Amino acid sequence: MDNSWEKLDDCLKALTPCRVLSKVLQKEQLTFGDFYLSWMNCVLEIDKLNTAFAFFLTRCMKERETALMNNDCFISAIYLVPRVNSILTNEQLEKARDHLVQTYQRAVRLISTNNVNSTAPEESEVPDEELSSSRSTITELDAFLRAQFRRRQQNMLNFNSEHNFKRILNF
């Protein structure tokens, strides 16, 4: 009977870091970096327990971590977080850079083909004075967003290596 209680106590001790992790995961503004730091902390705390259940739980979490590290979106997000990007291998770093460049190129294509007027309400639904005010606001907003986008694009081009610079221009 004591052995059953010891096993139950081992399970409880091993699941306590998981409970803390689940609370962290429920935060609204959780970033990938914060998620991954909390995940690694949980694995390390469980690994310290040195029980059979803790070993099994750690192994399962590491298998899941392997799956996460094979996801281009996840490694790209980790790549952008200086606190944790040092854990990425050279191959993962290259995959992350390629994925970010491809995502950037898709965003540029989508923005260039996006029609701002398609999101505006029908003219018959809005009074004329509101419509003209709305159009001028959309035009001002559009001009502002385009200027911001061009500035960000220029900054990205300045920070990229010549190799990445050529890839961006040739999409």
Residue among 119, 105, 118 at smallest CA distance from 170: 105
**Which amino acid is present at 27?**
K
Residue 60 has pLDDT above 90, yes or no: yes
Place of tokens 């221009």: 169
How many percent of the chain have pLDDT more than 70? 67
Residue 149 has pLDDT above 70, yes or no: no
Q: Tell me which of 107 and 139 has the higher pLDDT.
A: 107
Q: Which of 68-77, 101-110, 111-120, 131-140 is the most confident on average?
A: 68-77
Q: What contacts 78, CB < 8 A, 6 or more positions away? A: 32, 33, 36, 84, 85, 87, 88, 96
Q: Tell me which of 160 and 114 has the higher pLDDT.
A: 114
Task: Say which range, 21-30, 80-89, 119-128, 133-142, has the weakest mean pLDDT.
Answer: 119-128
Angstrom distance (rounded) from CA 15 to CA 9: 10
**pLDDT, tens digit, 9 for 90 and up, residues 106-125:** 888 888 777 444 554 454 45
Q: Tell me which of 116 and 81 has the higher pLDDT.
A: 81
